Amino acid sequence: MSDSCFVVRLNRYLDLTPTEKKAVASLEREPRDYPSGSMLWQEGDDLSELLIVHQGWALSESRLPTGKRQILRFHFSGDMIGASGIAFRDAPSSIVAATDMVVCRFPRRALGETFTEHPRLAALFFSISQMESIDLYDRLRALGRSEGKARLANLFLSIAARMRAVSGQHNPVIRIPLTQSDLGDAVGLTQVHVNRLIRQMTEEKLITRNRSTVTLVDEPKLIELARFVDRFSALDSSWFPSPRG
Q: Which does 221 bind (CB under 5 to 8 A by kind): DNA, its own copies, none?
A: none
- Residues 37 and 55: their CA atoms lie apart, in Å, by 14
DSSP 79-116: -EE-HHHHHHSB-SSEEEESS-EEEEEEEHHHHHHHHH
Angle at which helices 119-145 and 108-117 cross, to 10°:
120
Put residue 186 in one of left, alpha, beta given phi > 0 → left and psi -120 to 50 → alpha. alpha
Q: Is 17 in the site for its own copies (CB under 8 A)?
A: no
State yes or no: residue 130 binds its own copies (CB under 8 A).
yes
Residues facing residue 161 across a β-bridge: none
Site string for DNA, 137-166 (x = CB under 7 A): ----------xxx-----------------
Q: Using CB under 7 A, count the residues that bind DNA.
A: 19
What residues from 167 to 196 belong to the interface with DNA (CB under 7 A)? 179-181, 184, 188-193, 195-196
Which of 57, 9, 14 shows the shortest CA–CA distance to 34? 57
Q: Is 145 exposed, middle or buried (0-12, 13-18, 19+ CB in 10 A)?
A: exposed
70 near DNA (CB under 7 A): no
Of its own copies, DNA, none, which one does residue 122 interact with (CB within 5 to 8 Å by kind)?
its own copies
What is the separation of C-alpha 33 from the centre of its chain, rounded to a whole number of angstroms?
18
Q: Which stretch binds its own copies (CB under 8 A): 17-25, 26-34, 61-69, 165-173?
A: 61-69
Residues forming the site for DNA (CB under 7 A): 147-149, 179-181, 184, 188-193, 195-199, 211
Residues forming the site for its own copies (CB under 8 A): 62, 64-66, 68-70, 72, 83-84, 86-90, 92-93, 108-109, 111-113, 115-116, 119-120, 122-123, 125-127, 129-134, 136-141, 143-146, 185, 187-188, 227, 231, 233-236, 238-241
